[in-house]
Amino acid sequence: MRFRSEFGRTGQRALEGFRRAAAAEAVAEALGLEAGAFRTLLERLEAEGFIRRLEVR
User: In this predicted structure, what is the pLDDT of residue 55?
Assistant: 79
User: In this predicted structure, what is the pLDDT of residue 24?
Assistant: 86
Domain extents in the chain? 1-48
* pTM for the full predicted model: 0.81
User: In this predicted structure, what is the pLDDT of residue 22?
Assistant: 78
pLDDT (tens digit, 9 = 90+) per residue, 18-56?
Answer: 898 778 889 999 999 999 999 999 999 999 999 988 877
Measured at the CA of 21, the angle between CA 18 and CA 23, to 5 degrees, comes to 80
pLDDT at residue 57 greater than cutoff 80: no
Average pLDDT over residues 2-18: 92
